[in-house]
Amino acid sequence: MSGPNGELTGPRSLDDAKAWMRDRLAKRIHPLGLTDPQATLQTIDALEGLDGARWAKAWIATGNTFMDKAEALLSAGDKNAARDAYYQAYGFYFLGRFPCPNHPDKEESYRLELEAYGRFGALAEPPILPVSLPFDGPAALSSEIHFYLRKPVGVEKPPVVIMWGGVDAWKEEMTELSTQLVSRGIATIAMDNVGTGQSPIKARRDGEIQFEPVIDWVTQAADLDGSRIALIGRSFGGHWATKLAHLMPEKLRCAVNWGGGVHFMFQPDWVEASRYPDSYLMELVETRSRMLGAQNDAEYIEGFRALSLLDQGLLSQPCAPLLLVNGKDDKQCPIADIHLLLEHGSPKSVRLFPGGHMGFGPHTVPTIVSWVGNYLT
């Protein structure tokens, strides 16, 4: 549903959603940057609806095709081709649960996504290994923290980047970033943002309790350099990277907030203005509410309000070196939050790119990787 100037005023129609997806596919940007273009375009064209059942059905069907292909290739001994086919299967299952598994069929697509990604990770070079840590935080949804560890070959005690995504890109979607970092001799840990994926808690004021055990684990790991740790929070996850940079600067070499909110994003006026950003496909409020565990609009607004780092009194404290990255025309997270950070505490580094949320473009990831690498290697 669009206003007189083309801005969204309500959920997209099926035709509008298909046009949006075709555009993102052509540009190869999230969430249409992972999968085979021809197969993706065929799936988009065949979509019959945006409801959970019809949405998941279309993407799962394509994912199953690649999963069957991967199994046949593996049986034939072609591990490299099987690995690539598993990755494609994962990518289509990811789209089947996108932006979040808020329907039983999308839950099934997420289950298939984890299975396909696990098989891909085992064949990746270097491998992407699942790790679990015990977790006993208050109001926990589970007793474990799950993440993927990936170490560069031939590097003794490499530095480590711990990274996570936002409301819809989870630990499996950190693969491209991991590959670039590992190629520079940096180990990576990919985990889920608070309240997403396999996170053991919902997003709340003290959500950093999910990340702290992983940071402690790295500092104690014999095969990792716990004195050289960086954080990268992608999209909404940039919020937690910023908070941890202020809470534990002595443990971190640096941190990156790639498109995350700090204060203004969490105010009621911005919550209202960002319900239907043109940079988002569908169900942004539903996905954020699921992350927060909010059951209604009042709980959604209050859940956001409680996250303000300004109101928590953190921003004037010293912080680890912090890089702020975004698109200058972001409609999901206000640029005012970057200006606010520049006015408080330790000096920050900033890189704004053309475009909307996260400033996706050919130089975005290389800029982040180079900046982090300068602090770690």
CATH number of the domain to which 308 belongs: 3.40.50.1820
Do 281 and 295 lie in a common domain?
yes
The amino acid present at 322, given as its one-letter code, is: L
Domain limit, last residue, from 76, 101, 124: 124
> Are 264 and 297 in the same domain?
yes
**Cα–Cα distance, 262 to 78 (Å, whole number):** 47
Q: Tell me what pLDDT residue 279 has.
A: 87
pLDDT tens digit string along 65-119? 999 999 999 999 999 999 999 999 999 999 999 999 999 999 999 999 999 999 9
In DSSP terms, which residues pair with 188 in a beta bridge?
A: 150, 161
| 120 and 48 assigned to the same domain | yes
Domain boundary among 92, 124, 156: 124
> Do 246 and 359 fall into the same domain?
yes
Q: Residue 52's domain is classified under what CATH number?
A: 1.20.1440
Same-domain status, 106 and 162: no
Same domain, yes or no, for 241 and 374? Answer: yes
| Residues of the chain falling short of pLDDT 70 | 1-8
Are residues 53 and 165 part of one domain?
no
Q: Are residues 271 and 341 in the same domain?
A: yes
pTM tops 0.75:
yes
The predicted structure's pLDDT at residue 34: 96
- Residues 108, 185: one domain? no
For residue 111, the surrounding DSSP H or E stretch is: helix 104-123
Sign of CA dihedral 321, 326, 331, 336: positive
Are the beta carbons of 288 and 221 closer than 8 angstroms?
no
Copy the structure tokens of residue 152: 């560069």
Of 69, 94, 124, the domain-final residue:
124
Q: Where in the sequence is the domain holding 374, given as residue range(s)?
A: 127-377
How many domains does the structure of the chain reveal? 2
